[in-house]
Structure 1
């Protein structure tokens, strides 16, 4: 079976970030740093590792900082060069000219609507979707694990994670079929099922590899849970027509759309760093004592 390679990735970054106000009043939530790199940088690096060639950012008003982050900063680079400082960290943030595109989501109408806004750039080929506030830590990265599985199976691939039963109402949830190690056949999907009605505790996490047919479904997709156009509802319509699998990520996920998850991510990444880990560990131990 010939499988088309995944070359493009969509990053829906048009959300308002209200859970992190007032920090996100003037700064996109995707620019919140985990230690010294913004969340969106981690997601882009994950995509590059997986072989993605074109990054598509679906932005909204007040998101220009994301564009600036991946651009050349002439004044900053000139000043640092004059002072004899290395530009290596800045160069890591540049995206290759022509390898990045920005499209505006004029209203925050949901994840499905954000993906639909990228339709003309995605075109008629498979694509990935990455949600930056799902911060994934693992080797290889989450999307690389998914791409490797996708190249064997084709169709649609979503990241799956088991969550406590009392949290299934907060996620898209998989109706599971045959399980084979980290892979689970997806028989159905339901977005944010009412408490006690979820078909499993296997939730959909913010990494997707989708066929272009989902865009055509989104063309006429009505509003679903929360009064938004849900990507989960559109994906559910492809089940049975195309292969559909969930991959349980071999690594750790931090929900950085939640304040506790965001703080946990900062602590975990800081402790793992050779340069600051020992001093942070000593501080935490002393604080807990």
Structure 2
């Protein structure tokens, strides 16, 4: 019988150097798309998928991330006195019950696999999800929820996947496919950041995973992979070698790479235009910008 997935690991220990100087004093995960920080999008997606326990793998300087999910009694009292009920309501999603979030430290940056391994004692002998906050996915049904439904059918390990241009494969973990079943593909191998000419496909792994506890045992071996880091991809690939099923899942939705400045700006535009309260004014502004750009050419 497949065990229900109720725990999710959020590796949030990175320094966010691509967003300096902003990330000198605030964690990258607190940077906002419109009016919600990246971490809120990830938490909301996890909740929609039935996750009950949230495990943050953090590092020094991330206290603002922990504070974000605390109650803010003074702020709430002030809003209540001023009758700002809509703003009060918006704060509810940011409050987490005591004990719902656990924090573990990754003391040295040794790769995504190592960050996930840091959560091993809190995960225990249970299947678990991993969500990378850099990957923000706009979807009618949240991506992890889609994956949970697929997992109910398949069990094993399920990784989110999408087609990327062949010349971009060196930036991703790439799937070697044994059987293409449409939304699901059966995986016979995984390669981390292959050269374009050596990539087994153009189906890349995106930052959503549902994994068996055996993956933690593989990570426990601390094998160094690409870039001298402990790679999560390698630990999942080891599962295939040992005969455990691994599936790639082509999710329905648009993924934005908010780990890059261009991707973050693209997501800001997309999420801004999706908001009924901003669509008209923001859309008009973007139209004017494009008109000026065209005129200048």
Unaligned runs of 5+ in 2: 292-297
Asked if residue 263 in structure 1 is aligned to residue 265 in structure 2, the reply is yes
1:88 paired residue number: 89
1:177 paired residue number: 178
Q: Supply the distance in 2 between the matched residues of 1:60 and 1:228 (Cα, whole angstroms).
A: 17
User: Which runs of at least 4 in structure 1 moved beyond 3 Å after TM superposition?
Assistant: none
The Cα of 1:77 is off from its aligned counterpart by 1.5
2:252 paired residue number: 250
1:9 paired residue number: 8
Counting matched residue pairs gives 288
2:130 aligns to what SS in structure 1? strand
Greater helix content: 2
- 1:209-262 CA-partner distances (Å, limit 9, x unpaired): 000011111111222112211100111100142111000110100000011110
Q: Supply the distance in 2 between the matched residues of 1:73 and 1:227 (Cα, whole angstroms).
A: 42
Asked if residue 65 in structure 1 is aligned to residue 64 in structure 2, the reply is yes
1:274 paired residue number: 276
Q: Supply the distance in 1 between the matched residues of 2:182 and 2:175 (Cα, whole angstroms).
A: 16
Q: Supply the distance in 2 between the matched residues of 1:229 and 1:103 (Cα, whole angstroms).
A: 18
Asked if residue 119 in structure 1 is aligned to residue 120 in structure 2, the reply is yes
The Cα of 1:78 is off from its aligned counterpart by 2.1
Q: Supply the distance in 1 between the matched residues of 2:261 and 2:145 (Cα, whole angstroms).
A: 27
The Cα of 1:98 is off from its aligned counterpart by 2.0
Q: Supply the distance in 2 between the matched residues of 1:222 and 1:39 (Cα, whole angstroms).
A: 30
The Cα of 1:180 is off from its aligned counterpart by 1.1
Asked if residue 284 in structure 1 is aligned to residue 286 in structure 2, the reply is yes
Instruction: Give the TM-score taking structure 1 as reference length.
Output: 0.98
Q: Supply the distance in 2 between the matched residues of 1:27 and 1:9 (Cα, whole angstroms).
A: 23
- 1:148-204 CA-partner distances (Å, limit 9, x unpaired): 000111000000010000000000000011111210111100100123110000000
Asked if residue 235 in structure 1 is aligned to residue 236 in structure 2, the reply is yes
Q: Supply the distance in 2 between the matched residues of 1:174 and 1:142 (Cα, whole angstroms).
A: 19
- 1:53-102 CA-partner distances (Å, limit 9, x unpaired): 10000011111111111110122112222222221111111112221111
Is the contact made by 1:116 and 1:218 (CA closer than 8 Å) also made in structure 2? Answer: yes
2:20 paired residue number: 21
2:108 paired residue number: 107
Is the contact made by 1:221 and 1:234 (CA closer than 8 Å) also made in structure 2? Answer: no
Q: Supply the distance in 2 between the matched residues of 1:94 and 1:186 (Cα, whole angstroms).
A: 39
Q: Supply the distance in 2 between the matched residues of 1:74 and 1:227 (Cα, whole angstroms).
A: 46
Q: Supply the distance in 1 between the matched residues of 2:281 and 2:13 (Cα, whole angstroms).
A: 37
Q: Supply the distance in 1 between the matched residues of 2:3 and 2:209 (Cα, whole angstroms).
A: 15
Is the contact made by 1:159 and 1:249 (CA closer than 8 Å) also made in structure 2? Answer: yes
Q: Supply the distance in 1 between the matched residues of 2:277 and 2:82 (Cα, whole angstroms).
A: 23
Instruction: Give the TM-score taking structure 2 as reference length.
Output: 0.95
2:141 paired residue number: 140
1:225 paired residue number: 226
Q: How does 1:32-47 map to 2 (within 5 A)?
A: 32-47=31-46
2:158 aligns to what SS in structure 1? strand
